[in-house]
Structure formats: structure tokens, C-alpha cells
Amino acid sequence: MGDCENLQKYISEYVGDKPIDEWKLEFQDNPELYYEIAKYKGYGVPKRYKKAVNKYFVVENLFFFESNLARQYSGNPRYIYEKLIERFPNFIYVWAYDGNPKNIPGNPIVVKRSSNEYYKYLAKARVIINNTTFPIYIHREDTFYLQTWHGTPYKLLHWDKNNEKKSNPQFYIKSRGWNALLSPNNYSTEKFKSAFRYDGEILELGYPANDIFYNKEKYDAKRDEVRNKLGISSDNLVYLYAPTWRDEGHLGNSKFKFNLMLNTEKFLEHAPQGSILLVRGHHMSEVTEELKHLHGSSIDVSEWDDVVEIICAADVLITDYSSIVFDWYCTKKPVLYYVPDLKHYENKLRGSYFDIHKINCGSVCETEEELYKNINVDDAPFYEEFYNIFCSVHNGESADKVVDFLIKRKKIPFKNKIYQNIKKVYRLIKKVYRKIFNCIF
């Protein structure tokens, strides 16, 4: 079916002019064919992007960034960007960000996601960087797409999920556009290959977002800065409760209902005196009234853009099936697992790659009573084996390594250089002709 003539005949006979929603489910078990059909018919390439591609050339030093659907200035894209502006301040940088542009240093061009300007700069970018996905499936040939992802896989992803159906073909198309995928460790590399059915280039360089954990001066400064902003003393013991999102309770627009499973007041009654509890919902969880009404020693930090900064400020992590645990453990600080819905999550919802009772990195608590018994972490052990498997690639230099790779890759000559030059000459002639024509008439 790779032959163009046979593919065209197949599409004409079986797909025809039907819109994608009418036929996509027929090919959910054959993503390779789904991809070929979608590519041939131009699905997954918004009209505004096509228009921009026809109008603009790729700009050599233009980098385009997005993090978590443009909801945050955070994650690996943020720290790659900050290393780039440090080393190459004269490049052109564009951020897709729906928040306050003042949050972003370096004076980049800031665009709203899915706006006309968004597609314009996506079309012009030499390098595009994201930790989730862009609304385009197929980018132009001279654009390099680095997918950084956003964590070591804990919960089952995409093709590794037993009940995964509808989203597989779409995600398969999206991941075909990646020119390279960033990985924090060898374990993640293997899981990415199976979960994404990805056989492209994988960069096992560690996560730039975790570099700060290996720089004591920067780490301590960020810890003090965040605590000051939150009104927390340097002496307070700070717990961070950061559960992942649940696949049930979809609210639309990639948002899911957030159920606060921890009784915050009761927790603080059992915690050491003067303790603070930070609560952070996942970026795909809708912030609820329950969270908004936290008060006293419980603080909602769900709207804080970058969880890395919150990690710096906290002393103990309480989580469930979230990949935050792998980033957290780079700090070598203690972890508590609070999993009151463990059986439901494993058997009915998504499931995970690990038997949580054998993960060997912290106490596993299925009830609040168990959590309170383990709340004092003064003597919590350090699990060296866990650290060596998931954190040993990191040494504080991941951002530099990624930037070195991008600069080297960016120097590869444009594939369409001749074509671009022809178009430039044609446009120049057209412009001169119009001026002459206007002068005569």
C-alpha cells in the first residue's frame, strides 16, 4: 500500500470524500494505513498552517516552543529555551503561551495557541519543541521537531494500555512528525518505543528540567524564592501532595475532573507541628472549588506554572501514579505513596508499568490511616537502586547537551534550499513587475 498509485485507488474506493470522522474508527487497528491515508488526503494539517507554509520561508535561527498545550511556561521546553537564550541571545524565539507574557524571560515573541500568528511562526520555525503535541500532524520538511515528553512513564501510555482504542491512530500520526524524542533514562527509552510505536531517533540525555537539582546554589535560591512567594518560613516542613489525573470524568478540552482524595485538615493534624501542605492538581485536571477554598496551612499551587519550582520548595512528596516521582527522586528527598483507589486504577482505569508495592522508593499507603502512620519521614531510607535506574543519566548538564544537539542538527543544509531560492527570485520579479506596472498606469 506504500505505492502511490495503489494507495490513491484504495482511498478512492474505500474512503472517497467522506470526512475523517466517518472512517477513522475503521482503521484504528491499522495505524500505519491510517497514517498513509491521512497524509495523502492532507488531514492533520490545518488550513491556516498550509496557508502560512505557502506564504513564508523557514527562518534559519527561529525556535518555537510550547509546553502543556500552551497552558504553562514550564518543563523541558522552558529549560532548553533558557539555555538557548543564555548561549545564543540573538536567535529568534517564539513561545506559544496563553498566560502572562511577563512570566517569560528573554523577550520572546509570544503567541496564543491556534491563533493566526501561531501557525505563521510554526511554519517559519527551523526548530519546534514541545512536551505534548502540536495541532499539526505533519510539519514542513525543513523544520526539525524535538519532542521532549514530560516524564518517565509510570502509568501505562497509549499502545501499552489494554483498553486504548480511539486515540491510537491520531497519536500515531502525531508521533510520526517527531524528528527526535528526548528520554531521561534507558527504562523510558524502551517504554517510549512500545507505547508510541516509535522507531525514530531517541536522545537519552536526561531532562533539562531536572538540571537545577544538581546545582546547589540555584536549587537553594529557587527554594527560598518560592517559599517567600508562598509565605512559608525556611523552618517549616513542607509536604507536596501531587496526584496524577484520572481518565474518568472527562470535562472536554483535555481537562478531567479532579477529586481531592486527601483530607487536608486531618492530614495536618497528624503531621509534625508547623507543617505546610501544598496541593497540586495535574495540568490536565480542572481546578475545583474544593481546591480554591483551601486555607491556613494548606495551599493550592495548581496554578503555579512550573512544578520543578514547587519541588525545590517542598521536603516530602505524596503522590500516586504520577511520573513526578522520578523527577522528585533526583533530589533524594523522601516519598510517600497515597493510593486509596489502587485496585480501581489498576483494574478499571489505566494501570501502570509497576507493581507499586515492589517499586522500592517509599511507603505505600492505601488508606489515610496508613498514611498517618508513615507521615514522619525523619528516618526514611534512600533507595539507591531506584535512583541508579531512573536518575543516573542526570548530572546537571542535560540542557547544554540538548542545545549542542539542536545547534549541530540545525546546521544541516535546507533540503528545499534551491526551491526556496527560486521562489524568492520569482517573488522579487513579481514585485518589480507590479511597481513598473503601477508607474506606467
Please check the confidence at residue 166 and state whether its pLDDT lies above 50. Answer: no
pLDDT computed for residue 213 by the predictor? 98
Distance (Å, whole) CA 406 – CA 400: 10
Better-predicted residue by pLDDT, 368 or 438: 368
Average pLDDT over residues 430-438: 69
Place 360 in a pLDDT band, splitting at 50, 70 and 90. confident
Please check the confidence at residue 2 and state whether its pLDDT lies above 60. Answer: no
Residue 284: half-sphere exposure toward Cβ, Cα within 13 Å: 16
Which of 77, 192, 183 lies closest to 125 in space, CA to CA? 77
Domains and CATH numbers, the chain: 31-209+398-427 (3.40.50.11820), 216-395 (3.40.50.12580)
Poorest-confidence range of 12-26, 215-229, 268-282, 416-430? 416-430
pTM of the model: 0.86
Distance (Å, whole) CA 115 – CA 68: 17
**Pairing, β 250-252 against β 255-256:** antiparallel
Distance (Å, whole) CA 345 – CA 352: 9
Instruction: Tell me 48's DSSP state.
Output: H
To the nearest whole percent, how much of the chain has pLDDT over 90? 60
pLDDT digits (tens, 9 = 90+) for 57-105: 999 999 999 999 999 999 999 999 999 999 999 999 999 999 888 889 9
Cβ neighbours, 10 Å, residue 78: 26
Which of 421, 430, 415 lies closest to 179 in space, CA to CA? 415
To the nearest whole percent, how much of the chain has pLDDT over 70? 82
Poorest-confidence range of 24-38, 99-113, 370-384, 411-425? 411-425
pLDDT computed for residue 23 by the predictor? 64
pLDDT digits (tens, 9 = 90+) for 34-58: 777 777 666 668 899 999 999 999 9
pLDDT computed for residue 60 by the predictor? 93
Can you read off the three cell numbers belonging to residue 375?
A: 507521615
Distance (Å, whole) CA 16 – CA 33: 15
pLDDT digits (tens, 9 = 90+) for 239-249: 999 998 777 76
Please check the confidence at residue 138 and state whether its pLDDT lies above 90. Answer: no
3-class SS of residue 196: helix
Residue with cell 508499568: 353
What is the separation of C-alpha 235 from the centre of its chain, rounded to a whole number of angstroms? 33
pLDDT digits (tens, 9 = 90+) for 300-341: 999 899 999 999 999 999 999 999 999 999 999 999 999 999
> Considering just the CA atoms, what is the radius of gyration of the chain in Å?
24
pLDDT digits (tens, 9 = 90+) for 269-292: 999 999 999 999 877 667 666 676
Better-predicted residue by pLDDT, 426 or 308: 308
Distance (Å, whole) CA 304 – CA 306: 6
Average pLDDT over residues 153-175: 75
Mean pLDDT of the chain: 87
- Exposure string of 282-307, with b = 16+ CB inside 10 Å and e = fewer, is bbbbbeeeebeebeebbbbbbebbbb
Distance (Å, whole) CA 38 – CA 336: 45
Place 392 in a pLDDT band, splitting at 50, 70 and 90. very high
Residue 339: half-sphere exposure toward Cβ, Cα within 13 Å: 20
Residue 301 CA: distances (Å) to CA of 71, 145, 314? 15, 31, 12
pLDDT computed for residue 327 by the predictor? 97
Instruction: Tell me 198's DSSP state.
Output: -
